[in-house]
Amino acid sequence: MIYAYITSLIKEGINKELITPVDRIYVRNRIMHLLGISSFPEDAPEAEETSIPELLEAIVDWAVSEHVIEDMLANKEILSANIMNCFVARPSVIQQQFKEKYSQSPVAATDYFYELSKNSNYIQMKRIQKNIHFKAESAYGDLDITINLSKPEKDPEQIRRERDIKQSGNYPKCVLCVENEGYNGRFGHPARANHRVIQIPLLGENWYLQYSPYMYYNEHSILLAEEHRDMKIDQATFRRLIAFTEQFPHYFIGSNADLPIVGGSILSHDHYQAGRYEFAMTNAASVMKTDLKEFPSVKAAILKWPLSVIRLNSANPEQLAEAGGHILNVWKNYSDMEANVLAYSEDTRHNTITPIARRRNNEFELDLVLRNNRTTEAYPMGIFHPHADKHHIKKENIGLIEVVGLAVLPARLKDELAELKKFLLDLPCNVASHHEAWALQLKATYGSMKDPATVDAIVEKELGIKFASVLEDAGVFKQTDAGIVAFQRFINAVNS
């Protein structure tokens, strides 16, 4: 069957326009070399599997069964990426294609690169389809809930063996570095042979656009700095984000905060996340509109959102970035102990911003989400971090994706929620101890139920309520009368 799998994979590569029929023999020979095959029958059949991910999986399984590679995830990922690299053009060709498409429209350019990234199996579409995703109503709009099941699982023996032979090294310095383009991979660093990036000049620097291999939303992309340098939020950040929306007006773009606890998982490499999706925060209403005295061409408003957001709009991108820089500088040094906000503990800074930029109605829009990472004995993981009563659902950092209204929840919840649903249906179950209080609360609220569809709907609704509450914990100025008054005090400081 290996010949059938290879024949069908090449056919799919032609169908997806990764290669042309002229490339067929060349690609076949390169794949044969990777698999240690020395000859190929002229009348090889086609396989029943028709998608590229399914055919790749079948080829890799064959390679394991024939002892071409060891049965370890890293080896399988490296082989899979190298096989698909036979179908992907060199970076210069892809860059030129992107440029030609961009001359038609920015949408045509990103559509081309997005399809290439999916068809080359760099974006792991088959794995992503395993994720559980739904929308949940909240007081802030329809929140997106995702239970992340796309990361491949390893059995304990594989984990032990890979740990024993894990290879260390400082090249590439991290998984975001531009040097990952075409990198073979090793134990401890992902395979990137089929990975390509697009150079995007921004304000005199080279940045690089790629798509996330495990997307959480439509066209989930990453814009990374050429230089391996720490994350930093400053006025230059705002100028870059706005400049990106000038080049790609159909994409939003945002940055994780640059401090621990309120930042994302990778603070060692300056990068942003972009995409083509409307989150609940995109359409959040205004609680209060306000003027910025020094920036008359910029409109400002406080949003009705569980985190503390100032939305700025202007047709003038420079004024918008300057206004954002001014607000950031005031916030970095702002303390309000009545609101539990302290700018510094000795030399340790606590205040920063999570920014998001987009185009709206021919104007530029910049959302500034105020963040504070201070901890106390009562809140050792952070005052403005998910509190302990929500840790059974979410205890990880609230990064950019969660900030805008998309919950990325751990895979354990799939099985744990199944047991919770059995409990609500009065069936034999094993509810995890950390869910017991929540399970009893739901039973007291809704009583015993017999309809599984009703239980599914209730659990989804309650997960949305939990996630909204998680975001409220992360909000510096709460959506209460006292919180809005405290928010107004900060606006007064911005205008003073």
Domain annotation covers residue 408 = no
Mean local confidence (pLDDT), 7-22: 96
What pLDDT, on the 0 to 100 scale, is given for residue 187?
86
What pLDDT, on the 0 to 100 scale, is given for residue 51?
94
Model confidence over 31-83: pLDDT tens digits?
999 999 999 998 888 888 789 999 999 999 999 999 999 999 999 999 999 99
What pLDDT, on the 0 to 100 scale, is given for residue 155?
61
Tell me the C-alpha to C-alpha distance, in Å, between residue 401 and each of 144, 265, 406, 410.
Answer: 10, 12, 6, 14
Domain with 2 in it: 1-68
Q: At what angle do helices 73-85 and 52-65 cross, to 10 degrees?
A: 130
Asked if residue 325 lies in contact with residue 232, where contact means CB atoms within 8 angstroms, the answer is no
Domain annotation covers residue 323 = yes
pLDDT of residue 158 exceeding 70, the answer is no
For residues 195 and 270, what is the distance between their CA atoms, to the nearest angstrom?
19
Q: Which of 22, 48, 68 is the last residue of a domain?
A: 68
Model confidence over 77-99: pLDDT tens digits?
999 999 999 999 999 999 999 99
Domain annotation covers residue 206 = no
Mean local confidence (pLDDT), 323-327: 98
Q: 154: pLDDT confidence band, cut at 50, 70 and 90?
A: low
% of the chain surpassing 70 pLDDT: 97
Q: Which of 12, 46, 68 is the last residue of a domain?
A: 68
Ramachandran angles phi, psi of 70, nearest 5°: -80, 155
Mean local confidence (pLDDT), 211-226: 97
Mean local confidence (pLDDT), 122-141: 95
Domain annotation covers residue 428 = no
CB atoms within 10 A of CB 486: 19
Domain annotation covers residue 321 = yes
For residues 488 and 290, what is the distance between their CA atoms, to the nearest angstrom?
9
Q: 157: pLDDT confidence band, cut at 50, 70 and 90?
A: low
Mean local confidence (pLDDT), 187-205: 95
Sort strands 286-291 and 299-303 into parallel, antiparallel or unpaired. antiparallel
Mean local confidence (pLDDT), 135-158: 86
pLDDT of residue 137 exceeding 70, the answer is yes
Domain annotation covers residue 81 = no
Q: Which of 14, 48, 68 is the last residue of a domain?
A: 68
Domain annotation covers residue 103 = no
Report how many domains make up the chain. 2
What pLDDT, on the 0 to 100 scale, is given for residue 152?
74
